[in-house]
Chains A and B, each alone.
Chain A
Amino acid sequence: MIEIDKVSKSFEQKKGTSYQALDEVSFTIKQGEFVSLLGPSGCGKSTLLNLIAGFEKAYDGTIRVNGEPVKGPGAGKVVVFQEHGLFPWLNVLDNVAFGLKQQGVPKKERHARALEGIKSVHLSKFIDRYPHELSGGMKQRVAIARALVMEPDILLMDEPFAALDEQTRYILQKDLEDIWLRTRKTVLFITHNIREAVLLSDRVLVMSTQPGRIKKEFAIQAARPHQAGDPLIHHYENKIMETLSEELEKVVREEMGHDYRIAKNAVPDLPDRNLGIGI
């Protein structure tokens, strides 16, 4: 369970000014719930995730994980970073086994478990490779394996599939869903892809920007596993798209001056369009 209560965070800037990235954000993620966070680029999603992960301590408000205030990184929380963050000096196997090594799991067992994890992201052929010998998508998959292998209570994922091609993304979404259905971990999942968010989540939180706040919350009340063809799913996608477009318009307006408006059909209502760097 993750409880976030009135969390604000600002960054010091050079000339003594400060930039408020998060403004009184509050929400709760229940035990075993899969929650996605959507929002324009720069709205503070990664910032929020880093606070929950325990990487930064300077913020206002309280964050509790399983009832305990967050003291630091680790302790059952595992992060998949926006940029993979693999260690270049270790090969795939040792990268994935690194967390287990810290837990003192003996070599044989941790290699066996790491192998298992690597298999689940379909990279068994590459266990001897070093990160720089892998493609971007492969690195991200190793990072996912590295996180899952630690069998965390709480999985914090920051756009884990953003760098992947459509097929791999699809396979990994399925895998993640399977893993989640099997283990019922608590998941906070950041993405730019509306379809991905709706397909995977129990709840989707849409953030507004400057400063970052929770703008709207959508509970996805469709039968599991969520089907892309389900009209209900499609309905949610459109709703979220609308909410996000408003936000996007705000961002663009702020940048281009106040009389700028996005033409009504400039944002195609293809919900699975990856809003990537665009928003």
Chain B
Amino acid sequence: MRRTLFLIFLIVIWELGYRIFDWGWKFPSPLQTLEAFYDGFANGHLFGSIVASMRRLLISFVISIVLGTGLGFLFARFRFFDETFGFLVVALQTVPSIAWLPFAIIWFGLNDTSVVFITTIGATWTMSMASRTGIVQISKIHLRAAQMMGTGNGLKMFYQVMLPAAFPHLITGVRVAWAFAWRALTAGELIGRGLGLGQTLQDSRDIGDTATILCVVIIIAVIGTISDHFCFKRLEDGIMVRFGLHAAKK
């Protein structure tokens, strides 16, 4: 409720400001933005962009979650791997994924694959670090209990014990990975070709359509918030409660 009032207040100020100072086309008024929204959705362009971007995002996201979890597992289990490749990953993690775009363009061309590539890179390293921590921190007694009940040390152990035991860390990793992927995706799309939110931003800049630019920014913010709040945060909270960690956190 308070949030809604605040948003309405903000929009009123914005509209008033636009009318009083009359700053021109460089920043749109609420009405223009709304219009752009309507037009964008009416001709299907905005919706199409959202779908295209989400498709890329989901592909990259799934790849990076699987890859990251797997890598983290290897780091946690094999000392040698951790000391060699693990160290490299820590270094790679500090590189903004957009820095790989030139390589991506050289290897794959100016297309979807490039964008998916850098989005995946953006999320994988974080995910692998989270998964490593999660698996390293599994208590010995749980592993022993599992072994004594006959899980062995292979896949059964991984699926039935390690994954669930590492879940609190994994889910945090997933949340951060999602945020990283989002950023990398938008950055990548600004340069990539085709349909997508980032491309729409870029195209609108070319024709000076600031209203649409703002629309896309708002859409990105809304999707980001919704997915984090209603999907990952819920999931995380649920798991924390299940593990009895919630009381400790507060």
Contact = CB atoms under 8 A, between A and B. Distances in A.
A102 B151 contact: yes
A151 to B, nearest CB: 12
B244 interface: yes
Contact of A89 (B145, B147, B149, B242): B242
Nearest to B247: A132
B148 A73 contact: yes
Interface residues of B, number: 21
A159 to B, nearest CB: 14
B240 to A, nearest CB: 11
Interface residues of A, number: 28
Contacts of B141: 81, 83, 85
Contacts of A146: 149
A89 B244 CA distance: 9
A133 interface: yes
A60 B166 CA distance: 34
A83 to B, nearest CB: 6
A89 B139 CA distance: 13
A69 interface: no
Interface string B145-172: 1111111100010001100110100000
Given A55-B144, A81-B141, A83-B141, A89 B165 contact: yes
A18 B214 CA distance: 67
A102 B156 contact: yes
B147 A55 contact: yes
Contacts of A61: none
Contacts of A132: 243-244
Contacts of B149: 74, 78, 98-99, 102, 146, 150
Contact of B165 (A81, A87, A98, A133): A87
Interface of B is mostly: helix
Given A81-B141, A89-B243, A132-B244, A73 B147 contact: yes
A265 interface: no
B229 interface: no
A55 B164 CA distance: 22
A131 interface: yes
A103 interface: yes
Nearest to B163: A89
Contacts, number: 64
A240 interface: no
Nearest to A131: B244
Nearest to A98: B149
Given A87-B164, A88-B244, A133-B244, A99 B150 contact: yes
A276 interface: no
Nearest to B243: A88
A61 B142 CA distance: 27
Contact of A74 (B147, B160, B244): B147
B51 to A, nearest CB: 35
A53 B244 CA distance: 29
Given A85-B142, A89-B243, A79 B148 contact: yes
A85 B146 CA distance: 9
Given A74-B149, A102-B149, A103-B150, A87 B144 contact: no
A79 B144 contact: yes
Nearest to B145: A85
A77 interface: yes
B76 to A, nearest CB: 18
Contact of A53 (B146, B148, B156, B164): B148
Contacts of B152: 74
A71 B47 CA distance: 61
Given A83-B141, A89-B165, A102-B156, A77 B148 contact: yes
21 contacts: A53-B144, A73-B148, A74-B150, A74-B152, A79-B144, A79-B148, A81-B141, A81-B145, A85-B141, A85-B145, A87-B142, A87-B145, A88-B242, A89-B167, A90-B164, A98-B146, A102-B151, A131-B244, A132-B243, A133-B244, A146-B149
Given A78-B149, A83-B141, A98-B160, 6 more contacts: A53-B148, A55-B144, A73-B144, A74-B150, A89-B167, A103-B150
